[in-house]
Chains A and B, each alone.
Chain A
Amino acid sequence: MQIKNIKLSSMSNESIKNEIRQYLKESIVQDESMIIDDNTPLISGGLMDSISTLKMVGYIEQKYGIEFQPHEVDRENLETLELITNFIGSKL
């Protein structure tokens, strides 16, 4: 726990956001030229389907050492980069 906190305190919201953005481009959309801004609708816009959403959840859990509760995997937390970053922030 102690170690995790130290590691993450140095991580700004902005850098988390950019890491996730990069992950989305590389692994989910697989299109580097795609513009994903903070409020691009990822799920309702059809960029992420249910499986890629779960993949991303797995990626976030591993990378930031947090755990999603089953009911937290929803649009309220994952629809945009902004929401995802805020959600991660709230768990750190």
Chain B
Amino acid sequence: MTLPDKLHNYLETAARVNGDKIYIKTSSACFSFSRVFEMAVFLQEIFKHNGIQEYDRVVLYSSKNAASIAVMAACSKCEALYIPVAAANPAERAKFIIYETNPRFIVCDEMTSAELKNLSLPIELIHATEDVCIFKFFPVERDVFANHQSGFILYTSGSTGTPKGVLISHEAAIAFIDWAANEFNILESDVLASIAPFNFDLSVFDIYVTAKKSATLILYSEEDTKNALLMAQKLSDDNVSTIYATPTFFTTLANYGKLHKYNYSSLRNVLFAGEIFQPDNFNKLIENWPGKRYANLYGPTETNVCTFYRIHNTHPGNAMFPIGKPCAYAKCKLVDSDENEIMEKNVEGELWVSAESLFTGYWKDADKTNASMRVSNDKNIYYRTGDIVFKNNDDDFVFVSRKDRMIKKNGFRIEPSEVEKVITSFPHVVHVAVLFSKTKNQLVCFMEIAQDFKYDTMQLKLFCQKFLPLYMVPDKFVFLDAMPKNTSGKVDLQLLDKQLQ
């Protein structure tokens, strides 16, 4: 069987072979493969008519709907790049991404197009229906980039204080999709659940594995996915068979969803990624859902999934799940602080990954791209994950910690400097340090404010929400008369962290 070389080929093939089958189901409608493909062809015509070029960008600022998936296929057909920005992102963040990527078009739904219009961007509405509003974007200059690659860009939190775009090629995405579809034996009869927002790499599995296997994908709104009581009912009612989500999602479901009330006989695959699954929470889940196939998938957005570990039973004791062994298309190695490879077991080092699924680079940031990669002696390009791991006696990798300040909260990746940059921009703020309390699962912001000035927590939260997605807004603010400094005059993060833990 020949592999498709562009992402839209999955949809195109399914539309040809299984045209009448339901591809996308939402709470209000069903869309067959042919219907979604026809929408894609229609959108492609609009794009073409309005001057789309190869490698153009299309920002997709929308809630999850079938039209968004058609937009992705239309971009793929035009050799353009799509950039999903979930509707839950504040308009200011969407604006940043728009100016960063300089798109030819911005595609919105009804709600986000109202938000977009408030931003006074140089845009013109060229097409509008209930689900899709297409704006043409008129930048000062249409820059041409050397990076001639189509695919998509996923924006993630950036350590320099602004979001960074991870550019993923068709080939990289396809390496993962083809592997995952077979490894988890996805069939035409499967019903997949779309839990993750489209700007999260878990959705790559949902959208494309479903199309590859002519299965069915249920789109759950962001609102719904946050309500464990509702999701417990819907996953049962919708006969979902495969779920790929964060441990936080499953933990909430197991703790608050009242799973015992429902029947999950259709459920086969329970896959999770994005953070550590605490064993006692996992055990609660497997008690409710015995006999399913569980797997812990690991990989940052830059590599997509690169290692995985299957779990068969309740997990004893306090030991964490390993992140497992490399996928068929990936090579991993451990290096010490001098970048020498560690061959011994049970010795900690940084995990480097070389894989067909590797990203192309950070959008418009060659320096950051180069700094994140190494060409090793075997001529392979490795991505330095920044994750400290070791190899256990079973040859499985086990995650230990981060090399840098990056935080994982509820499966979301948060660079504290991005939060700090936003809060520092508020008036009268002198110093800010954002840290994570693991025990309380809280993002805590320490701040020093100019004398004679006061903020209250509510005020700060509302300010933050204008610029940051909700998961990046600190849970708690601690006001200090003076920020502790270390000998080099920088904020003493270690001291603050000690206070916190």
| Chain A interface (Cβ < 8 Å from any Cβ of B) | 29-31, 34-35, 40, 45-47, 49-51, 53-55, 57-58, 68-71, 73-74
Contacts and interface: CB of A to CB of B under 8 A. Distances in A.
Given A34-B457, A46-B461, A49-B470, A70 B252 contact: no
A70 B462 contact: no
A31 B476 contact: yes
B258 to A, nearest CB: 9
Contact of B458 (A45, A53, A69): A45
Contacts of A45: 458, 461-462
Contact of B229 (A35, A40, A47, A73): A73
Nearest to B227: A73
A76 to B, nearest CB: 12
Contact of B457 (A31, A53, A55, A73): A31
Interface of B: 223, 226-230, 232-233, 248, 252, 255-256, 410, 440, 456-458, 461-462, 464-465, 470, 473, 475-476
Given A31-B476, A70-B232, A58 B461 contact: no
B26 to A, nearest CB: 16
Contacts of B476: 30-31
A77 to B, nearest CB: 12
A50 B407 CA distance: 19
B447 to A, nearest CB: 15
17 contacts: A29-B457, A30-B476, A34-B457, A45-B461, A46-B462, A46-B465, A47-B461, A51-B248, A51-B252, A54-B227, A54-B252, A57-B256, A58-B256, A70-B227, A70-B232, A73-B230, A74-B223
A34 B248 CA distance: 27
B473 A46 contact: yes
Contacts of A69: 229
Contacts of B232: 70
Nearest to B441: A51
B226 A50 contact: yes
